[in-house]
Amino acid sequence: MLAIGYHVSMPAMMGFMLLSGIIVNNAILLIHFALEQIKLGMNKRDAMLESIKIRTRPVLMTAFAVSVGMLPVAQGSAIGLERLAPLGAVAIGGLVVGTLMTLIFIPVGFVWLVGERSVVGEEV
C-alpha cells in the first residue's frame, strides 16, 4: 500500500479480509489433496507435487479473475469508486504475492514439517 500511496483505511482492511479467505482456502485445498495422496500410498514429496499439478490451475484462475475484476476498483475509474481504490490495490497486490507464496512456501513447509507415518494412520 505504501508503494502506491494509499493509507490504511476501512476499504484496505476489507481487502485484507478478502485476501485471507482466498489464500487460506487455496492453502487448505493444496494440503488436503496432498494428504489424500499420502493416504493412497505416495510419499509426501510426490504427493505434494501431484497436489500442485492438480491445484495450480484453479489457484491461478481465481487469482487472475479477482485481479481483473478489481482493476476498475483499483483505478477508481467510476464515480464513487475512488474511495474503494485501496480495496482493489490490496486485493491485486496481495493475490499476486499470496498466490506465489501458496504455490511455493506451503509445499516446501509441508514437505519439511509433515511426517508420513502420522498422516497414514488418520482418516480424512
pLDDT of residue 121: 60
Single pTM value for the model: 0.79
Amino acid in the structure at residue 123? E
Q: Give the CATH number of domain 11-117; options: 3.40.50.720, 3.40.50.2300, 1.20.1640.10, 3.20.10.10.
A: 1.20.1640.10
The whole-angstrom separation of Cα 35 and Cα 43 is 10
Amino acid in the structure at residue 119? V
The whole-angstrom separation of Cα 42 and Cα 48 is 9
Give first-to-last CA distance, the chain, whole Å: 39
List the chain domain ranges. 11-117
pLDDT of residue 56: 92
| Average pLDDT per consecutive 10 residues, the chain (124 residues; last block may be shorter) | 69 87 92 91 91 92 91 82 84 91 92 75 56
pLDDT of residue 2: 56
pLDDT of residue 33: 93
